[in-house]
Amino acid sequence: MKSFFRKLLIGKVSRIHKPRFNPLEKRILNIRSIWNNDHQDDNGIEKIFRLFLSCSQLLFPGIYIKTLACRINYIYQDLIMDLYIILKVIFPLAILLNNWQSHHWLIVLLVYFIAETVLYIPTLIFASDLFSRPRSYKRSMMMLFLNYAEVVIAFGVFYTLGNNMNKAFESWFDPIYFSIISSNSIGFGDYYPVTTYGKALVTIQSMFFLSFVVLFLNFFSTKVKSKGYFDNEEIE
């Protein structure tokens, strides 16, 4: 049974060479690399933006959880990060299901987690000079989908903070539904914002998901190499 779960959850990761630096050390080296223009001759606003993105990751728990997992045993690093991302998806869902919007500390914590997600995605593209390519781009795409789900549900929570809509949400799923149609610019008209706060949320969400789909998903999808059923070019 132990070997079954090990093969299911870990696979052949144990055969991969142990990394020389842990994630925190890599991040610090990456910041130095951007500062010294070791890999890219950027300057001005571009360099400031890249330094900001790279440094921002030091403010959030993800990199420290990843580093701790690496120190315990590097083969569990991806598995623990998968669990962390799934918990971040469940967190805003739990707030909606249990009507915890009145607990302000939970909302502050949710904003903190969303900020980590929103900043992490562009960091991968614009500010990861020293980082090697991921073990699996398909896994990266799956994690991006979970990031998408996390932000959608989180915005659903934000829409329930106050009377911002033309009518009250009738169930816990209604704010998620409105968040999804807003991010996809569908807008059936059954719900719409009537306050400045609500309109600002819709604007921010629409801008984020436009850049998310056009830039980030396109970046990773072009790097996915398929292996499987349609790989064999021979005609039988």
The secondary structure of 94-153 as a DSSP string is HHHHHT-TT-HHHHHHHHHHHHHHHHHHHHHHHS-TTPPPPS-HHHHHHHHHHHHHHHHH
In a domain, 235, yes or no: no
pTM, whole model, 2 decimals?
A: 0.82
Q: Which amino acid is at 163?
A: N
Q: How many domains does the chain fold into?
A: 1
Q: Is residue 229 part of a domain?
A: no
CA-based R_g, the chain, Å: 20
Q: Is residue 2 part of a domain?
A: no
Range of the domain at 155: 18-221
Report yes or no on 49 lying in a domain.
yes
| 207 sits in which H/E element | helix 196-211
Specify if 9 maps to a domain.
no
Has residue 193 been placed in a domain?
Answer: yes
10 inside domain: no
pLDDT score for 97:
95
Give the chain's length. 236
Calpha distance 230→223 (Å, rounded): 17
Token pair recorded at residue 14: 């144990």
pLDDT, tens digit only, all 236 positions of the chain: 767 666 666 666 655 566 677 888 888 988 998 899 888 888 899 899 999 998 999 999 999 998 998 888 777 788 888 999 999 999 999 999 999 999 999 999 999 999 999 888 788 777 776 566 666 667 777 888 898 899 999 999 999 998 989 998 999 999 999 999 888 777 777 888 999 999 999 988 888 877 777 666 666 666 555 554 444 444 44
Q: How many CB atoms lie within 10 A of CB 131?
A: 15
H or E element in which residue 44 lies: helix 44-56
223 is written with which tokens? Answer: 């790097």
180 occurs within a structural domain: yes
Minimal CA–CA distance to 114: which of 166, 152, 64, 168? 152
Residue 129 in contact with residue 212, Cβ under 8 Å? no
CB 50 within 8 A of CB 127: yes
Listed in sequence order, the residues at least 6 apart from 188 whose beta carbon sits closer than 8 Å to its beta carbon are 181
